Copies of this chain bind each other. A is one copy, B any other.
Amino acid sequence: MTAGIADVSTCAVAVDVALLTVRDERLSILLVEPDTPDLDAAWALPGRRVRDDESLIDGARRAVRELAGLAIPHAWLEQLATYGEPQRDPHGRVVSVAYLALVPDPEDPAPGDGRSAAFVAFEDLADHQPLAYDHDRILPDAVERARSKLEYTALATQFVEEPFTLGDLRRVYEAVWGESLDGANFRRKVVSTTDFVLPVDGEFRKRPGGGRPAQLYRRGTAERLHPAMLRP
């Protein structure tokens, strides 16, 4: 690591963020419009070069803030993987550390920096492909990570605002997995998993079109789920 002889270079280091949310019951991804005037330039994940004195995760937060006008100081943000093929960026070697962010639907990203940003449903992604650089490789990795982590961690609660109903939580699972779930069995599993969710005693939420009011819950303390919530 402290070699520093011939053949070794310094690389540009960047962060790219795959920010996922559930909007209109569909898993959606934050994309930013390219800054080049080129007409058929590709959309991309928000990404920035990392600064001298900045940690990687701070760089990830800054990329989302500067490119999509979205402040995510408390959102879930975890490292996904690092993409460093020598030829992945045509302008020179750039090693990019990708992050996965999960947020409740922020209604609308307000673009800063003069570009536009938008949420695109995963199933409509083809309309914006191909993405810039190797972002078409990063995005499936991000979605698979999210799908997989919903099985054995409590991360699903990061997609909803507190307090939430078990119906809200079920719709998160359904959107991320792309599968419909039995409400009765889902409820039993969530409630019986220790510290997954905590009921807010005596508080309920009514729905616009009728239906029995639903008990409200907050996030529990569990990080890993025992037992796991396995995909159907």
B-binding residues in A (CB < 8 A)? 1-4, 7-14, 16, 44, 47-56, 79, 81-82, 84-86, 89, 91, 93-97, 132-133, 228, 230
Contacts and interface: CB of A to CB of B under 8 A. Distances in A.
B50 A8 contact: yes
A13 B14 contact: no
How many copies the complex holds: the figure is 2
Given A1-B96, A16-B1, A95-B95, A84 B50 contact: yes
18 contacts: A1-B14, A1-B47, A1-B49, A1-B96, A1-B132, A3-B48, A4-B49, A8-B52, A10-B13, A11-B11, A11-B50, A13-B13, A50-B95, A55-B85, A56-B82, A82-B97, A95-B95, A95-B97
A132 B10 CA distance: 21
Nearest to A151: B152
A119 to B, nearest CB: 20
A44 to B, nearest CB: 8
Contacts of A16: 1
A1 B84 contact: no
A8 B94 CA distance: 13
A11 B96 CA distance: 12
